[in-house]
Structure 1
Amino acid sequence: MPSAAIPAPPWRAPKKTPAARQPLSAEAVLSTALRLVDKDGLDALSMRRVAQELGTGAASLYAYFANKDELLEQLLDRVVGEAPLPRADAPDWQAEVKRSCFASRNVFCAHRDIAKVARANIPTGPNSLRYTEALLAVLRGAGIPDHICAWAMDQMSMVIIADAIETAIHVELGRRTEADAAPYLNQVRDYLASLPADEFPNLVAIAPAMIEGSGDERFAFALDVMLDGLARYARPAGGAA
């Protein structure tokens, strides 16, 4: 009668439990990729890493995505889809645009540095198109000329992406909260205040103001400046050009 299983020698490294193979689909790939970005950031993402998480080979992913760039493009669109669409029937178009920009920025900030994918790219995925269409409806509904609407979309996107990327960098540097950032900002304030006043009178004078305001307050200020400018072009629907 055979004896019980012979145990392995104690000096041998224990075998790793193989990753459970998940049903492969485009949705599974995107979900896994986003989870990896949330955990380790965009630079750590690779087709090989995603495949390992799914218990398959990198070649299997190319049945769904031609390359990493295509994966990133669809990943960005998935994140955009988390933001609520602007409402064209909102009673205050400026408040609605501001609310929408804050929501978009918060969605990007919730996913580490995924906003980097949007740099120098015009998102054209289905969620991005729906969001753009909805925001354009708000702007055009305010009577803003078409070419100003187009430029405004571009500039607001840049402000949102830049703010989200800066937030991600602060997080990477350990400044996850306003309190975390305070020691660094106070150093900057004190340094500016210590500059030779005869050479840098303005920097010395406003050194405290240079670091005032939370991230939300500064983002709101940027939006207010843009919206105040856009309001110059707004006219009642059906009004004269």
Structure 2
Amino acid sequence: MPAAAIPAPPWRAPKKAPAARQPLSAEAVLSTALRLVDRDGLDALSMRRVAQELGTGAASLYAYFANKDELLEQLLDRVVGEIPLPRADAPDWKAEVKRACFASRNVFRSHRDLVRVARANIPTGLNSLRYAEALLALLRGAGIPDRICAWAMDQMSMVIIADAVEQSIHEELGRRTEAEPYLNQVRDYLAALPADEFPNLVALAPTMIEGSGDERFQFALDLMIDGLATYARPSGGAA
């Protein structure tokens, strides 16, 4: 009997079919990398994993990206491109800024923990530049001074990123379905503290866990943007 016709022993693990080789391009690499992050999270992403998905060797990816850091930068910029641009001609600039912040947060949250790449990083990709330009046009058009515009954009980004990162951590810990029992435990723990030493924590224990993630994010935006509005000049124009 030919060797090829001999069946494999039943205890031997079946061999995996080799990954089908796909046409290689920067776009194919980015699409594959994003699919990996969406499926397995940021820590699972590597040049080797992307190459395996594409049916090629990791060395071939370096023709398009100098290293993993460059791949991550461009991957983040690709995701930023999914965010609708703020409209400078919106009739209510405060509502438009809040809408843009929610849209940014929702896009980042739709891609697992990729938003971690944005921490301590100033995005300079084309999509990021276009978004920043549109947001600055909206703020300057509201008559907010230039320095306040620049700083406000930075601080709003920090709030969005922090919220998205926290959400991704909770999801990785499996608290998406266990949030209520966990929060109730926190409430009960605070309420049981010695009232003579921690009177305010005891009094506010129920309030500390109130509100959905959306409500708390809206509250943060209201605080920031209502404060920002105090710098706006009714006549418009930038200082």
- The gaps in structure 2 that reach 5 residues or longer are none
| Conserved? CA contact 1:21–1:54, under 8 Å | yes
Offset at residue 228 of structure 1 (A): 1.1
Runs of 4+ in 1 over 4 A off after TM superposition: 2-5, 238-241
- What is the distance in 2 between the residues matched to 1:53 and 1:83? 27
**Is the Cα–Cα contact under 8 Å of residues 113 and 165 in structure 2 kept in the other structure?**
yes
Q: Which runs of 5+ in 1 are unaligned?
A: none
Give the structure 1 partner of residue 90 of structure 2. Answer: 90
Instruction: Count residues with an aligned counterpart.
Output: 238
Match for residue 128 of structure 1? Answer: 128
CA distance in 2, matches of 1:27, 1:20: 17
Q: Confirm whether residue 164 of structure 1 aligns to residue 157 of structure 2.
A: no
What displacement does 1:240 show? 9.6
Q: CA-to-partner distance for each residue in 1:52-92, whole Å, 9 max, x for gaps?
A: 11110000000000000000000000000001000011100
TM-score, normalised with respect to structure 2: 0.95
TM-score between both structures, scaled by the size of structure 1 = 0.95
Whether 1:186 and 2:181 are equivalent positions in the alignment is no
The root-mean-square deviation of aligned C-alpha atoms, in Å, is 1.7
- Which structure has more relative contact order (CA 8 Å, sep 6+)? It is 2
SS in 2 for 1:164: helix
Deviation per CA, 1:108-149: give whole Å up to 9, x if none: 000001110000010000000000000111100000000000
List aligned pairs for 1:36-75, cutoff 5 A: 36-75=36-75
Is the 2:140–2:236 Cα contact (8 Å) retained in structure 1? no
Deviations 1:145-175 (A, max 9, x none): 0000000000000000000000000000112
Select 2:224's aligned residue among 210, 223, 226. Answer: 226
Q: Is the 8 A contact 1:141 1:237 kept in 2?
A: no
Q: Which moved more, 1:15-24 or 1:134-143?
A: 15-24
Q: Is the 8 A contact 2:37 2:114 kept in 1?
A: yes
> Contact (CA 8 Å) 1:197, 1:204: kept in 2 or not?
yes
Aligned partners of 2:51 and 2:61 also within 8 Å: yes
